[in-house]
């Protein structure tokens, strides 16, 4: 005989697989300090951990929205995408890898280029996205960057690149390598035209991207702790057969060695860029001297040249619309 009898129904047990706290997507764990971060709060702090200042990697579109006035910009050359010039196949055919990358990222390529205003200054920005095949630079990336430089030359705008890349894209062989030369040659023209180029380095920036435009900025900025180098740490470790110190090739290391100008918190990036542009965009250089106009029947010698393809499209690829 039992002394006590349960009158009420016991609480219905929940099957183990359903026993979850519904916070998924609301909290994010910081990679660096393990703090649980409220997602909305993290978004407001531009994906920087409010506790330890860890800078999460962010995508190209977020980057553009963060830099442009009111987050407004016009995407350029979304139709420039990589073909398969070498018919490259490793364990998978290259076109298949490209298609996969497009599907998983919603991006047409490893870079988004755009036109807009930064602090009121006409500015062309190319923002790379590491999630698209490691931000690797193939022909399409090279072409898109070259085109924004040429557009800046035509319209006397400023150029900003935001790098996030493992380097040149192997699947396009030496053609990827030549993009380094192509972009650098375009930057030589920009330099001679006394137009500003700001290079922003984010985690990670290595290989052929570092060894070309990323290191050619009139001013070079970097996000805290970003890995920046020519050879990747693993390659160096294999060469010298020893472990590398933890801070080696980090942004702070580079600034110490005189390789870049400022390590800047993402939340202060836009303000700093505007300050720099204000110095670098000199209105005295803005318009070509009048005598050139007169000798040229009033036509602006720096005006658009007909042989430059004006293929910018306001139409974004359908995939990218799904993503955003």
Partner 1 sequence: MSDDANVRDRDEPLPAFERVKLARHTDRPYALDFIQRLFSDFTELRGDRRFADDPALICGFATFQGELVAVIAHQKGRDTKQRRHRNFGMPKPEGYRKALRIMQLAEKFQRPVFTFIDTPGAYPGIDAEERGQAEAIARNLMEMAKLEVPIIVTVIGEGGSGGALAIGIGDWVLMLENAIYSVISPEGCAAILWKDAAQAAQAAQALRLTANDLKRLGMVDQIVPEPSAGAHTDADEAARLLKESLSEGLAAVVKWSPHERKSRRYEKLRALGG
Give the interface with partner 1 as residue ranges (CB under 8 A): 85-91, 138-140, 142-143, 146, 168-170, 172-182, 184-189, 191-192, 207-208, 210-216, 229-231, 235-236, 239-240, 244, 248-249, 257-259
To partner 1, the closest distance from the beta carbon of 78 in angstroms equals 16
To partner 1, the closest distance from the beta carbon of 53 in angstroms equals 25
To partner 1, the closest distance from the beta carbon of 305 in angstroms equals 12
Toward partner 1, which CB reaches closer, 86 or 122? 86
Toward partner 1, which CB reaches closer, 181 or 271? 181
Toward partner 1, which CB reaches closer, 27 or 230? 230
Q: Which of 11, 26, 281 is nearest to 155 (CA)?
A: 281
To partner 1, the closest distance from the beta carbon of 117 in angstroms equals 27
Cα–Cα dist 125/73, whole Å: 9
Residue spans of alpha helices (H) in the chain? 39-44, 60-67, 94-105, 139-155, 173-192, 207-210, 233-240, 251-256, 266-280, 283-286, 290-295, 318-323
Toward partner 1, which CB reaches closer, 23 or 83? 83
DSSP assignment of 154-166: HHT-EEEEEEEES
Cα–Cα dist 306/324, whole Å: 34
Toward partner 1, which CB reaches closer, 26 or 308? 308
Toward partner 1, which CB reaches closer, 48 or 133? 133
Angle CA 118–220–52, to nearest 5 = 85
To partner 1, the closest distance from the beta carbon of 194 in angstroms equals 14
H or E, element range at 200: strand 197-205
To partner 1, the closest distance from the beta carbon of 89 in angstroms equals 4
- Order across the sheet with 262-263: list the strands: 74-76, 111-118, 121-128, 158-165, 197-205, 219-222, 262-263
């Amino acid at each position: 005989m039992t002394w006590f009898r349960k009158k009420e129904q016991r609480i219905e047990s929940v099957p183990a697989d359903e026993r979850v706290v519904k916070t998924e997507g609301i909290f994010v764990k910081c990679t660096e300090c393990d703090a649980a971060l409220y997602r909305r709060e993290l978004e407001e702090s531009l994906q920087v951990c409010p506790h330890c200042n860890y800078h999460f990697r962010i995508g190209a579109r977020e980057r553009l929205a963060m830099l442009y006035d009111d987050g407004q910009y016009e995407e350029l050359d979304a139709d420039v995408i990589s073909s398969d010039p070498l018919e490259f196949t490793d364990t998978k055919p290259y076109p298949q890898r490209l298609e996969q990358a497009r599907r998983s990222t919603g991006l047409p390529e490893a870079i988004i280029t755009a036109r807009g205003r930064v602090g009121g200054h006409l500015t062309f920005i190319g923002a790379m996205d590491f999630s698209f095949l490691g931000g690797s630079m193939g022909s399409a990336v090279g072409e898109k960057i070259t085109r924004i430089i040429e557009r800046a030359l035509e319209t006397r705008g400023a150029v900003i690149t935001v790098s996030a890349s493992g380097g040149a894209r192997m699947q396009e062989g030496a053609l990827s390598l030549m993009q380094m030369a192509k972009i650098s040659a375009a930057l030589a023209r920009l330099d001679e035209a006394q137009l500003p180029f700001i290079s922003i380095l984010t985690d990670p920036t290595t290989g052929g991207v570092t060894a070309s435009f990323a290191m050619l900025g009139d001013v070079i900025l970097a996000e805290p702790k970003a890995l920046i180098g020519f050879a990747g740490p693993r390659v160096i470790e294999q060469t010298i057969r020893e472990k590398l110190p933890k801070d080696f090739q980090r942004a702070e290391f580079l600034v110490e060695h005189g390789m870049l100008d400022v390590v800047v918190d993402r939340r202060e990036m836009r303000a700093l860029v505007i300050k720099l542009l204000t110095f670098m965009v000199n209105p005295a250089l803005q318009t070509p001297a009048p005598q050139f106009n007169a000798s040229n029947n009033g036509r602006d010698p720096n005006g658009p040249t007909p042989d430059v393809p004006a293929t910018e499209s306001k139409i974004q690829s359908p995939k990218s619309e799904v993503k955003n």
